A and B are shown apart, each in its own frame.
Chain A
Amino acid sequence: MTLLADATTTILPLRLYATLPLWPLLGALLVGLLVVLRRKASATHWPVVLGVAASATLAIVLFLDLPKSTTNAALQEHWKSGVSASQRAGELYAVFTGGASRAPALTYTLYNWISLGDQSSLCNQHWLAVNFYFDGLTAVMLLFVTVVSTIIVVYSIGYMRDHHGQPERGYERFFAFLGLFVFSMATLVLSGNFILLYLGWELVGLCSYLLIGFYYPRPAAAAAAKKAFIVNRIGDLGFALGIFTLYWFLTAGADPLVQHGENPLDYATVFKYVGALEPWQITTVALLLMCGALGKSAQFPLHVWLPDAMEGPTPVSALIHAATMVTAGIYMIARCTPIFGASPLALNVILVLGLLGAVLTATMAAAQYDMKRILAYSTISQLAFMFVGLGCRVPDSAVFHVFTHAWFKALLFLGAGSVMHALSGVIDLRRFSGLRDVLPQTCRTMLIGCLALAGFPLLSGFWSKDELVHAAFERHPVAGLILLATAGLTAYYTFRMFFLCFHGELRLPDDAAQPHEAPLVMIVPLWLLTLGAIFAGYLGVTFAAGGESFLGFIRPHGLLHDYLHDSTIGTPEHGHGGLWLMYVSALVALGGIGLAWARFGQAPETDPDARALGGLWRLWHAKYYFDEIYDYAFVRPLRNLGRVFSATDDYGLDGVIWLVAAVPRSLSFLLHFLQRGALQGYALGMVVGVAVLLLLWNLIGV
């Protein structure tokens, strides 16, 4: 089914699966049609709900339908063996070229899109196709993207209404954007070449801009949307340059690597030839592509947009943080493992950035009061875990963590949304506490979500996080220790938030109306996600009694890993020998939770951390002053430069143009008195003119 294995095909036609991104788009368009037809706003969610649900159904069927294939033994050996990097690149090349004679991955080509290369000659001509890839990675990504999105869309039906059940202003717009968002993400994941990937990538950015700025009359929302878009733009510039240089390296020169008739930016072609590139070329491409992932997945230098993205409606935050957008960066690096795997430098950079980001943002999360911001920083921190995994050559574990993270992070956001909904939009933890009895359902589901995020044993977050920590320990003990400590911090700040919100005495903000539990249409999605938060992890482990197993019956490495191995990721089988770590990380998680209980169990009104840690806490609370540093270092100089240019334009260029225009204008002002409207006056003028000309002619002489 992939490059690496003998191809068999799916039972249902690939054509059907290729329609997967189409349904949410159709739903979004239909919403627009309904708006044009002036139907009642309260029913406009149906097209999008049905469209996204259709996608989810297709994704589940595809997940089950995708043929199992034998993993490529040569590649597995190659990953396990400790050969040097350059050797590795050569071997990789051999593996991929060796696989070229076999049928390519399950690809559905819709049509030829862009023609490239020299059109005049018959050689060196390429086409870029609109084609879709169906492999394990795609199936896993689609599975959680569409299913979690469906749940979020259903939740939004309840969330986007006021207390009387009337739709908010812009209700239709919201659902249309959600449909577009899911369409973009599905296109991104399904695409079989870099150009289509880039298209989906940009579409996702656009949708995030539209949705973060959903409450655009609020200046903060508009600013947050702009910030998200611009910061993403910085990363996307790198990503685009990466694609360009990749194309250049593959096709440049008298004897290009890509042969006539091959699509030079198709994954299959790229991965086939990437091993033949020079190491510096691979590293350049990998680092540039990584810039895109940093922006989209909100990683360390470009992480600043994600917390501000909380200005959008809460379901959007859930969608961005769990199912779409931020997972795109992880997906892209996982997809491009043949490129990244051949560049040790890029992997190390990813690893270091991941470690830095994990620690920094986890500490930031520990000193915030805004529930959604805490969750946002925790998302960045968890994504940084995944980056560490990618940097440690375990992309399948990273994708596994993306998978489990989607469920419990969506659950946490939707739970926070439920709290917000109950308290009329108040989200500051200092202003309320003890909601346990007021919001019983929300409290229970949130508890499970928090446990999953904290890495409580047997919940989904535990399995995937443990794999990443294990991989980090195998790579380097320091990295492992950092991750382990961050995991403990994660458990601590998660439960700090939970206790501050639900425990202690009942306190309510003054301006909140009578708090009430959310309607059924919001509670049911919460419970569905809770199921995911508990059980999603079991897709990544196997039950086997005895031997080296956790609690005597569970072993790492399950169904999902099989799927991911089958794809072009080509990661080694791993997870053995980390049994002790499972117990350790379980203890760390419990320790973090216990510490949070000791300090915040009664939801004190004054933060004990703020007193105990002093300046350090203030540094965390101020997010290490990143926004201020960026403001001083980049935003203000650029803005001043812009002012200079603007002034030059306004006064310099416009002044010259004004002057040029002023001369004929003043002349015509003098002349306009001659236009009196009397026809004969004009005729007389002509006669005099001709006479004067003749006179001059006579005087000068012919």
Chain B
Amino acid sequence: MPTLLIAILTLGAVGLFLALPGGRADTRRVGWVVLAAAGAVLLALLLQLVPGADPRGLFAGFALVAVFAALRVITHRKPVYSALYFILLIFAVTGLLVLLEATFLSMALVIIYAGAILVTYVFVIMLAQQSRPAPYDVKSREPVWGCLAGFLLLILLARQIELFLVPAQRTPLPAPVAEAAGTIEAVGVPLLTEYVVAIQIIGLLLLAALVGAIAIARRRATPRVESEGDE
């Protein structure tokens, strides 16, 4: 399996390199084909590991959507689309979280990420939008090195995870969690008892971020627009 995994991921790297913005349209299309092939093999491999028919199908669907959305986020030439694909990614992750019986967290993720953070992103993207595609969106930066380093890391991580989990896989699966798992109560009790100090600190951090954001955004920067979009 390691050899296969390495091959798949290398394939993915090549595909991603080709699909990244900067090349011609047909090379990008080739890249997508390669990526799809790699993704299909990977999914087939992963599905073997998921027991049971029902979770397997759901996991396969959500994982496919998640990886596809992630690829589109980093390959799309228009920032608005990137943001919208990111929302898709959030939904896919939400589905995976439900599979993991983290219902409250999945809802929180949708509300906070899709509802709040991404909306802000979209606002800012709109604010900074230009009439034609900006040159810095069209061409990516050092895609060879980025893909190479990233997939090297991914291969190493996968290998590490595998090495790490081989003994663990032999152990019997943990007992299924009770119906109440992942509800507000189940997450809230440790949050407000064991981690009460951490939650205070997080609150303070949010306050500081709020104050900082206001202080930064209020500042009147002297516009220094020399030449829009060099290169």
- Give residues in A with beta carbon < 8 Å to B: 680, 684, 687-688, 690-691, 694-695, 697-698, 702
Least CB distance, A155 to chain B, in whole angstroms: 66
Segment touching A, from B153-161, B185-193, B219-227: B153-161
Closest residue on chain A to residue B164 by CB atoms: A702
Closest 3 CB pairs of A and B: A694-B156, A691-B153, A687-B149
Given contacts A680-B142, A695-B152, 5 further A-B contacts (CB under 8 A): A680-B141, A687-B149, A691-B149, A691-B156, A694-B153
Closest residue on chain B to residue A688 by CB atoms: B149
Q: How far is the CA of A687 from the CA of B160 in the complex (A)?
A: 16
Closest residue on chain A to residue B151 by CB atoms: A691
Closest residue on chain B to residue A681 by CB atoms: B142
**Chain B residues with CB under 8 A of A690:** 153
**Chain A residues with CB under 8 A of B160:** 694, 697-698
Are B149 and A684 neighbours in the complex by a CB distance under 8 Å?
Answer: yes
Closest residue on chain B to residue A695 by CB atoms: B156
- Asked whether any CB of chain A lies closer than 8 Å to the CB of B135, the reply is no
Q: Is the interface of B mostly helix, strand, loop or mixed?
A: helix
**Chain A residues with CB under 8 A of B156:** 691, 694-695, 698
Least CB distance, B150 to chain A, in whole angstroms: 6
Q: Mark B151-177, 1 if CB is under 8 A from A, else 0.
A: 011001101100100000000000000
Q: Mark B176-199, 1 if CB is under 8 A from A, else 0.
A: 000000000000000000000000
- Asked whether any CB of chain A lies closer than 8 Å to the CB of B146, the reply is yes
**Chain B residues with CB under 8 A of A687:** 149-150, 153
- Give residues in B with beta carbon < 8 Å to A: 141-142, 145-146, 149-150, 152-153, 156-157, 159-160, 163
Least CB distance, A435 to chain B, in whole angstroms: 77
Q: How far is the CA of A695 from the CA of B157 in the complex (A)?
A: 10
Q: How far is the CA of A184 from the CA of B145 in the complex (A)?
A: 80
**Chain B residues with CB under 8 A of A698:** 156, 159-160
**Chain A residues with CB under 8 A of B153:** 687, 690-691, 694
Pick the most buried of A680, A691, A698: most chain B CB atoms within 10 A of its CB: A691
Task: Please judge, given known A-B contacts A694-B157, A698-B160, whether A684 and B152 are in contact too, CB under 8 Å.
Answer: no
Least CB distance, A330 to chain B, in whole angstroms: 72
Q: How far is the CA of A694 from the CA of B150 in the complex (A)?
A: 13
**Chain A residues with CB under 8 A of B142:** 680, 684
Closest residue on chain A to residue B150 by CB atoms: A687
**Chain B residues with CB under 8 A of A695:** 152, 156
Q: How far is the CA of A166 from the CA of B154 in the complex (A)?
A: 89
Q: How far is the CA of A2 from the CA of B100 in the complex (A)?
A: 100
Closest residue on chain A to residue B141 by CB atoms: A680
Least CB distance, A460 to chain B, in whole angstroms: 81
Q: How far is the CA of A694 from the CA of B158 in the complex (A)?
A: 11
Least CB distance, B161 to chain A, in whole angstroms: 11
Task: Please judge, given known A-B contacts A694-B156, A694-B157, whether A684 and B145 are in contact too, CB under 8 Å.
Answer: yes
With beta carbons under 8 angstroms apart, the residue of A680, A691, A697 that contacts B152 is: A691
Q: How far is the CA of A684 from the CA of B147 in the complex (A)?
A: 10
Q: How far is the CA of A688 from the CA of B152 in the complex (A)?
A: 9
Closest residue on chain B to residue A685 by CB atoms: B149
**Chain B residues with CB under 8 A of A697:** 160
Least CB distance, A70 to chain B, in whole angstroms: 83
Least CB distance, A691 to chain B, in whole angstroms: 4
19 A-B contact pairs sorted by A residue (CB < 8 Å): A680-B142, A684-B142, A684-B149, A687-B149, A687-B150, A688-B149, A690-B153, A691-B149, A691-B152, A691-B153, A691-B156, A694-B153, A694-B156, A695-B152, A695-B156, A697-B160, A698-B156, A698-B159, A702-B163
Least CB distance, B211 to chain A, in whole angstroms: 25
Least CB distance, A366 to chain B, in whole angstroms: 82
Closest residue on chain B to residue A693 by CB atoms: B156
Q: How far is the CA of A702 from the CA of B159 in the complex (A)?
A: 12
**Chain B residues with CB under 8 A of A684:** 142, 145-146, 149
Q: How far is the CA of A68 from the CA of B157 in the complex (A)?
A: 104
Least CB distance, A693 to chain B, in whole angstroms: 9
Q: How far is the CA of A691 from the CA of B163 in the complex (A)?
A: 16
Q: How far is the CA of A606 from the CA of B202 in the complex (A)?
A: 99
Q: How far is the CA of A691 from the CA of B160 in the complex (A)?
A: 11
**Chain B residues with CB under 8 A of A694:** 153, 156-157, 160
**Chain A residues with CB under 8 A of B150:** 687
Least CB distance, B219 to chain A, in whole angstroms: 21
Least CB distance, A692 to chain B, in whole angstroms: 9
